[in-house]
Amino acid sequence: MLRIDVISVIPDFFSSTLENGLLSIARGKELAEIHIHNLHDYGLGKYKQVDDAPFGGGAGMVFRPEPVFACIEALKAEREYDEVIFLSPDGKRFDQTMANRLSRLKNLILLCGHYKGIDQRIRDTLVTMEISIGDVVVSGGEIPSLFLMDALVRLIPGVLGDSESALSDSFQEGLLDCAYYTRPAEFRGLSVPDVLLSGHHRNIEQWRHENAFEKTKARRPDLLDQEFLEELRKK
């Protein structure tokens, strides 16, 4: 079972998502555990302060090290963690290969930043992996953490109704996914490709592979490195 502990200053942000959809299904089937921890529980003083102004001046506030160290050390006292992940725009770009690897681990901590960021000593000492979901800045790590959790949990066997569905998604084989059609076979003069109606499974798979390749070539040529192209030519 995959266990994910999320550290956030706005824990209520996660309530609706954890009670609905894929994450709720995974928890209900006891295939994943997700626990949300309020960083303010480890805050300093009467007002449970977790942030302060940055040394050197400048706008914004920065997470202090004391609350984050206290929270993560409390979690580590109960179990070992495979990764302590900080969601940050300057982290490594999240992709399907990374999702596949992380989904096979047992215990993860996701640290959601907020405000201007976190004290660098947290990153240097506690964080083992930094992940970005794209070249964009959002208000905090809560949305990226939900993005990451959804990507991981759907890969756990038994979560999806169709066990093969996740294996055929975009990026699993280095390509974008192919086009899909359903009933009716003709709609407003627009027809489904004949091969998909043929019942010839080998031809259908060949069409899907070629369609996926052409879509990737048009939309994401950066995915088609020379080594990958050589492998395609051998097929």
pLDDT for the residue numbered 175 = 87
% of the chain exceeding 90 in pLDDT: 82
Give the confidence band of 227 by pLDDT, cuts at 50, 70, 90: low
The beta-strand segments (E) located in 94-141 are 107-112, 117-118, 129-132
Residue 164 pLDDT exceeds 50: no
184 cis-preceded (ω within 30 degrees of 0)? yes
Backbone phi, then psi, for 157, in 5-degree steps? -55, 130
Q: Which two tokens stand for residue 62?
A: 């920065």
Fold match, 2-153 / 170-234: no
Q: Average model confidence (pLDDT) for the chain?
A: 91
Residue 21 pLDDT exceeds 80: yes
* Contact of 132 with 93, CB cutoff 8 Å: yes
From CA 41, how far away is CA 18, in angstroms rounded? 21
Query: Domain ranges in the chain?
Result: 2-153, 170-234
pLDDT for the residue numbered 168 = 47
pLDDT for the residue numbered 115 = 85
The H or E element spanning position 79 is none
Residue 37 pLDDT exceeds 70: yes
User: pTM here?
Assistant: 0.85
From CA 44, how far away is CA 67, in angstroms rounded? 7
Per-residue pLDDT averaged across 194-201, rounded?
A: 96
Which of 62-76, 155-169, 195-209 shows the lowest mean pLDDT across its residues?
Answer: 155-169
Three-state DSSP state, 91? strand
What CATH superfamily classification does 170-234 receive? tRNA(m1g37)methyltransferase, domain 2 (1.10.1270.20)
Cα 203 to Cα 53, 207, 213, distances in angstroms: 63, 6, 15
Residue 128 pLDDT exceeds 50: yes
Q: Which CATH code is given to the segment(s) 2-153?
A: 3.40.1280.10
Residue 39 pLDDT exceeds 90: yes
Give the confidence band of 107 by pLDDT, cuts at 50, 70, 90: very high
Per-residue pLDDT averaged across 65-92, rounded?
A: 97
* Contact of 84 with 128, CB cutoff 8 Å: yes
